[in-house]
Amino acid sequence: MKKLIDYKSLDFIKSRIDSYSSFIITTHQSPDGDAIGSSLGLHYFLKLIGKESKVINCNPTPNYLKYLDVNNEIEVYDKSKHYELFQKCDVIIVLDLNNLKRLVDVGDAVSDSKKEKIVIDHHIEPENFADYYYVDTEIASTCEIIWNLLSLFEQDYTIDTANAIYTGIITDTGSFGFDRTTEKTHLIASDLIKHGVKPHKINEYIYNSSSLASLHLYGYALKSIELFYNEKLAIMTITQQMLKDAGLGEGELDGFSTAPLRIDSVKISLTIVELKEKGVFKLSFRAKNGNPIRDLASIFGGGGHQLASGARVKETTYESLKTKIINEAKNYII
């Protein structure tokens, strides 16, 4: 019989943390503010309460989030150096993701490991690869869950943890603008500010740390927007040539994909990024309230949240992919 996902309470997760001493934390590919924020927020706290902790990720931290890694502690996975560590630590904590595929090569080290695995996340329908799960799909960010978890401990958290958690909340709520932002989100933000977070500083790091090349690329990406179905569907395209011209990598497009939603009539937006690997495309779906697009993303093998989902697809050409998506999308425009 297929084993069911073992959902646990945060009290249970706390009791596992209390009873073990060495931890590896890891998070998804192309890590965003919530991924890095939740990883470092928890990592700093574990060290503070006397645990051994390492953050080992499949991809490097993007530049605009490096300020959170104050002592340059995040390690980028290298099989020869890290595989054994995943087999030896007491517990592996996987944050802000719902399937092993999104751990890329770290996924093998995790699935081979016989050690305890705990997932803490806010995505719908996780894959069953871990021992214990704490999943809250109503909550806006994994960072908010980490704050709830830390509040169960007697030990107070430090400013480094506060900055990390605040960053994840800001990035995953669109600065308190997305639908899952609640009164509690603001109360947590208030507590983080009490612990020393300076909102204007975080805002500078996240939103005002672009390069000229990135801003130029953003301009070209905006120029590429095409509208379909009475201007309700927007498609933005970033090609390898555009990335080459800008001298940027495909991992340096954070924040681009919500832009087409700024158009009044647009309900659903799709950003297609042509990846280096021939015939492979990254899709980023974004939607306004009332137009859930997660099922649309899952048609293309992806997933995520109701209003922000993604996928990676292999397709012969950009044109055929676009035609397919336009055909499927018409069923999701409300």
Q: Binding to ligand 5GP by residue 307, rule CB under 6 A?
A: no
Task: Report the residue number, 161 or 271, with the smaller CB distance to ligand 5GP.
Answer: 271
Task: Report the residue number, 113 or 167, with the smaller CB distance to Mn ion.
Answer: 167
The structure tokens listed for 70 are 């104050």
Footprint on this chain of Mn ion (rule: CB under 5 A): 34, 96, 142, 172
53 binds, among Mn ion, ligand 5GP, none (CB under 5 to 8 A by kind): none
CB of 142 to Mn ion, least distance (A): 5
The binder of ligand 5GP chosen from 61, 141, 181, 309 (CB under 6 A) = 309
CA 186 to chain centre: 20
CB atoms within 10 A of CB 227: 15
269 binds, among ligand 5GP, Mn ion, none (CB under 5 to 8 A by kind): none
d(CA 96, CA 44): 17
The binder of ligand 5GP chosen from 42, 166, 304, 321 (CB under 6 A) = 304
Look-up of token digits 């499949």? 58
CB environment 7-37: b (16+ within 10 A), e (fewer): ebebeebeebbeebeebbbbbbbbbbbbbbb
Q: Binding to ligand 5GP by residue 310, rule CB under 6 A?
A: yes
37 binds, among ligand 5GP, Mn ion, none (CB under 5 to 8 A by kind): none
CB of 157 to Mn ion, least distance (A): 19
Q: Binding to ligand 5GP by residue 302, rule CB under 6 A?
A: yes
99 binds, among ligand 5GP, Mn ion, none (CB under 5 to 8 A by kind): ligand 5GP
CB of 323 to Mn ion, least distance (A): 31
CB of 34 to Mn ion, least distance (A): 3
CB of 301 to ligand 5GP, least distance (A): 7
Q: Binding to ligand 5GP by residue 284, rule CB under 6 A?
A: yes
CA 326 to chain centre: 26
d(CA 273, CA 104): 19
- Piece in contact with ligand 5GP (CB under 6 A), picked from 40-48, 65-73, 146-154, 299-307: 299-307
Q: Which of residues 99-128 bind ligand 5GP (CB under 6 A)?
A: 99, 102, 123
d(CA 269, CA 224): 13
Burial bucket for residue 47 (CB in 10 Å: 0-12, 13-18, 19+): middle
Q: Binding to ligand 5GP by residue 39, rule CB under 6 A?
A: no
Pairing of strands 22-27, 52-57: parallel
8 binds, among Mn ion, ligand 5GP, none (CB under 5 to 8 A by kind): none
Could you give the angle at which helices 142-150 and 183-194 cross, rounded to 10 degrees? Answer: 60
d(CA 64, CA 208): 9
Look-up of token digits 């179905």? 229
CB atoms within 10 A of CB 271: 24
CB of 70 to ligand 5GP, least distance (A): 25
Look-up of token digits 């390898």? 240
* Interface positions with ligand 5GP (CB under 6 A): 99, 102, 123, 257, 284, 302-305, 308-312
